[in-house]
Structure 1
């Protein structure tokens, strides 16, 4: 496996170089911020963008927008940062023995001894409680969905122990915001949000399979399952299927969301989102090399832009 060894000041091997945590955060806070992956912001984006998709399509659906929608967008951003941090902390608590045996993850705060399990539990609860404060500002239906989101979050770290498809469980957790933000705006869950949620799960299968290829050798030795190990040299074929599922399902979600009241121009603009997103995913496929860990990490991080593309089109559709 390719990977960096832990540095003396506790930096994590796959963190963004010269990130703000390692450069500017107080020394006492750094291990906890690393535990929350604050030094690797891509995960927050991947959790947040489906929230903003859901909010935008919900507004397109009923052709209504208000100041509270601005708070939904901001609240989702803060909540995504907090819940991503809480989820990663939970993941590292449950995986502390596994992480210590994998080159890429052994420098994480718990296996490297920077944070105790008890300290991590307290930190996880603090983040979750702050996120709950934000959730309680939404309507009751959204609050209920937010509480239900804890189930896939709790199960995900264990999925790789019993299924070859742990990325499905990650998708269930990471795209829940599409359901929540739609409901926070409209007051009830709608079919377009469910289809959008499924599109997000297909996208997660795409990007996290790429990510998981970094650890296939160590995972095989330990006995940890993943779609990367399952697909092997057929990974590119499977990624094409996930690409098509993402684009197709998102396109259906857009049509169902726009049909009641949106103009034809708005629908056409919104449909440009999944189309352009698909081209960006196809670009990733052209550069895929499952033996090059640096390239795999680069492609994985590129999915921030992948998820931002349809949002731009959805916002444009709202403005016409």
Structure 2
């Protein structure tokens, strides 16, 4: 591979990101496969873990473990990277026909399929090593998500609701985080899981509007194409149910007032997203999607405050 090919940045990565600026040229294609230049994904994968662990800690009247939160963060980075690599291996021919994705490492020829597979396995096994530091229930619950994770990249080929499948996979941390604290499942994490699925459907529908024209040409299905001009109402409904289910989870866990204040701030942020996003403007869709990182901080802050109080 030529240096200029290795240095070619991905179209939807932010300009001047640390991967393009600081990493050696030969490592950049692999960092791009793992989306290290676009960190929003591992935040979205991590939030259910952090929220659930903080909620369980609040229910127990103790602050969440800093070590566990750090391990969840590292695991989210690794599993998101492994998942993105797996997705890109399966989607490399589709990505070659989509303007936003044709510059990714596999369709652009920066990385071979064989090298991508080895990189995916390295990330997955490192994440496994982290998982094995948790209790037995947490390990078992985490392993139960693998089937859904494997199916997600195929969903957009067979259903108009691939965002629901993504939600099932990305929200699993709501169960894992709770068991890491309590060693057992309960009603609260399942309510949190259900709400997180709807949150994922909402934000990923907004994200999918970036590609809806290319998707229509090549036959890729999504809730963005399904909802069309009714997207804001559909996403608003998903977000409203998210808030309702999260509130039920807080009630089931007997969380304190601070948790509800955090949830109110989270809900206000989701309403702001819907008000400002333009589904006909890819830049607006991407900005609204990325803003969910800050929405996550608002809810997490409330849960942590409830745990301390």
TM range (shorter): over 0.9
Distance 1:219 1:274 in 2: 35
- In structure 2, the residue corresponding to 1:103 is in which secondary structure? coil
How many Å apart are 1:298 and its aligned residue?
Answer: 0.7
- 1:77 corresponds in structure 2 to 73
The aligned residue for residue 39 of structure 2 is 41
CA deviation map 1:122-150 (0-9, x unaligned): 00000000000000000001001111121
Please list, as runs of the form range in 1=range in 2, the aligned pairs for 1:279-318 lying within 5 A after superposition.
Answer: 279-318=268-307
Is structure 2 residue 202 aligned with structure 1 residue 206?
Answer: yes
CA offset digits 1:72-91 (Å, max 9, x no partner): 11110000000000000000
Q: Following the alignment from structure 2 to structure 1, what is the Cα–Cα distance between the partners of residues 140 and 110? A: 36
Aligned to 1:139: 135
Aligned length: 306
Root mean square deviation, CA, Å? 1.3
Residue 51 (structure 2) aligned to one of 50, 53, 60: 53
SS at match of 1:162: coil
Deviation, 1:191, is 1.1
How many Å apart are 1:273 and its aligned residue?
2.2
SS of corresponding position for 2:66: helix
Equivalent runs, 1:142-221 vs 2, <5 Å: 142-221=138-217
Which residue among 255, 263, 268 is the counterpart of 2:257? 268
Pairing of 1:232-271 with structure 2 (within 5 A):
232-258=228-254, 267-271=256-260
Q: CA deviation at 1:153?
A: 1.0
Offset from partner CA, 1:146-191 (integer Å, 9 cap, x none): 1112111111000001110000111111111111011011101111
Question: What CA distance in whole angstroms lies between the structure 2 residues aligned with 1:179 and 1:245?
Answer: 19
Structure 1 runs, 4 residues or longer, greater than 4 Å off: none
Aligned twin of 1:263: none
Distance 1:221 1:231 in 2: 17
CA contact (8 A) 2:175 2:185 kept: yes
Question: What is aligned with 1:261?
Answer: none
Q: CA deviation at 1:63?
A: 2.1
* Aligned residue number for residue 26 of structure 2: 28
* 1: CA distance, partners of 2:58 / 2:292: 24
Name the residue aligned to 2:223: 227
Contiguous gaps of at least 5 residues in structure 1: 1-5, 259-265
User: How far off its partner does 1:70 sit?
Assistant: 2.1
